[in-house]
Structure 1
């Protein structure tokens, strides 16, 4: 078995490579060549943690495996990130475990990649302003991934933590981009052509009336029952896209509008993979509001882990162990 520790994973996969790989596996799923299997995601009842297991396979590559991990909200004082996860890959031909890959960094870039792919296919091409609701660790991945697909001139941000806003602002300005931190969420939303929400919120942070016509929204925070970032009235007023239908309606952003009877499966225009594959329409007009519900799927995790393994083998890196 090949073991890839966290410090090595960071050197093996760049955001641009992750974006290309995730886009390809989304397309493979739309064409029936890849599948996400049912997710296990539960509140642990210890340390306020949420733990989940995501599994899947892409026969076009091929790869097979699982990612296990979750959210431990008290980790920062311990010198650890709140999100902790690991990916286990199996040989598709024999079923033998073939690689164990630390997935903290890889989870960050695959989440940024999914959002950026949605932005690439669903936002207006002339979009120049990016709004970020939630400026924790994931916001940097979102920023850098978005910059690979759109020419962003100004970043607007909101976060309840002034320290988070300041740290994120330094990252933005170091890249030579104008930065505005907002005390009012509504101002950040109204001024954004592209809006990314990436928080652990359990109540709506973005209201319908704040969103301008033509805005694209990547809602990336909701991945557990009860999480919420968007007003259900906003959801039912927009063109809707998902990474995985079943997850979106049960643990994703659209769960709330679905539970209230405001949307159903027929309200979803398609998966992001369908748009990439050309089997579903993306944005239909410059005035349309589009929303991508990024719940996070196994295929994203597995494709970046598989890429890390391939790069490690090419470079003679990682640690081989008997298993």
Structure 2
């Protein structure tokens, strides 16, 4: 078995690499060549943690495996990231465990990659102002991924914690990026042509009336029953694209508009179908497009598989008998 550490994973896979890898497996999903298996997600009952297992396989690659981990909210006080996860890959031909990959960084860039793919496929090509709602650990991944697919000239950011949005703006300024820390989410929404939401909110923080015609939104925060970032009226008014429809209406932002009868599952277009040329993306300059990114196992597995292939090609990682 090959073991890939967190620092090595960061060296092996860039956000640009992740964008193309996730694109390939999303397209394979649309063609029926890749499948996500049922998700396990549970409250642990210890350390206020939430633990989950996501699994799947892509026969076109091929790869097979699972990612296990979750959210430990007290980790920052221990000098650790609150999100902790590991990916285990299996040989598709024999079922033998073949690699263990640290997945904290890879989870961040695969999430940014999915959002960026939606932005590349659905946003207006002339969109250059980015709004980021939620400036925690995922926000820089979202920024870097978006900048890989669109020429961003200005960023507007807001967080429920004003100190975090101010710190984010200072970080971007040090990177030479023009960023305004806004006092409200509404100010971000009214300024931006591309909006990324990445918060743990359980109530709407982005409202329909704030969104300009032609805006693209990537809603990346809702991945559990009860989470919500968007006004259901906004979801109903947009043309909605998803990583996986059944998951979007059960744990994504779509769950609220769906349960209210404002949208039907059949209305949701898989992003992979657009990437594979099987469905249309944006159809007008004024259309509001929405990507509800809930996060699927295949995103995790494809970037882990890429890391493993590169490590083996370069003689990196630690091989152990298993």
**TM-score, length of structure 1 as denominator length:** 0.98
Number of the residue aligned with 1:286: 285
Q: Are residue 274 (structure 1) and residue 265 (structure 2) matched? A: no
Number of the residue aligned with 1:318: 317
Is the Cα contact below 8 Å between 2:162 and 2:183 reproduced in 1? no
The whole-number CA distance in structure 2 between the counterparts of 1:167 and 1:181 is 9
Number of the residue aligned with 1:306: 305
Number of the residue aligned with 1:262: 262
Structure 1 SS opposite 2:310: helix
Is the Cα contact below 8 Å between 1:22 and 1:110 reproduced in 2? yes
Greater Cα shift, 95-104 or 47-56:
47-56
Is the Cα contact below 8 Å between 1:140 and 1:171 reproduced in 2? no
Structure 2 SS opposite 1:137: coil
Query: What is the correspondence of 1:188-267 to structure 2 with a 5 Å cutoff?
Result: 188-267=188-267
The whole-number CA distance in structure 2 between the counterparts of 1:266 and 1:305 is 31
Is the Cα contact below 8 Å between 1:90 and 1:99 reproduced in 2? yes
Query: What is the correspondence of 1:1-323 to structure 2 with a 5 Å cutoff?
Result: 1-268=1-268, 270-323=269-322
Report the CA distance between 1:165 and its aligned residue.
1.6
> How many pairs align?
322
Report the CA distance between 1:162 and its aligned residue.
3.0
Cα RMSD after superposing both structures: 0.9
Structure 1 SS opposite 2:163: helix
Is the Cα contact below 8 Å between 1:223 and 1:251 reproduced in 2? yes
Report the CA distance between 1:163 and its aligned residue.
3.1
Is the Cα contact below 8 Å between 1:218 and 1:294 reproduced in 2? yes
Report the CA distance between 1:76 and its aligned residue.
0.7
Is the Cα contact below 8 Å between 1:67 and 1:298 reproduced in 2? yes
1:256-312 residue CA offsets vs partner (Å, 9 max, x unmatched): 1111111111221x1010011111111111101000000000110000000110111
The whole-number CA distance in structure 1 between the counterparts of 2:310 and 2:207 is 43
The whole-number CA distance in structure 1 between the counterparts of 2:175 and 2:145 is 13
The whole-number CA distance in structure 1 between the counterparts of 2:208 and 2:237 is 8
The whole-number CA distance in structure 2 between the counterparts of 1:172 and 1:292 is 25
Report the CA distance between 1:169 and its aligned residue.
1.4
Report the CA distance between 1:170 and its aligned residue.
2.8
Structure 1 SS opposite 2:187: helix
Q: Give 4+ residue runs of structure 1 displaced > 3 Å after superposition.
A: none
The whole-number CA distance in structure 2 between the counterparts of 1:237 and 1:24 is 29
Structure 1 gap segments, 5+ residues each: none
The whole-number CA distance in structure 2 between the counterparts of 1:141 and 1:171 is 13
Structure 1 SS opposite 2:132: strand
Is the Cα contact below 8 Å between 1:130 and 1:194 reproduced in 2? yes
**TM-score, length of structure 2 as denominator length:** 0.98
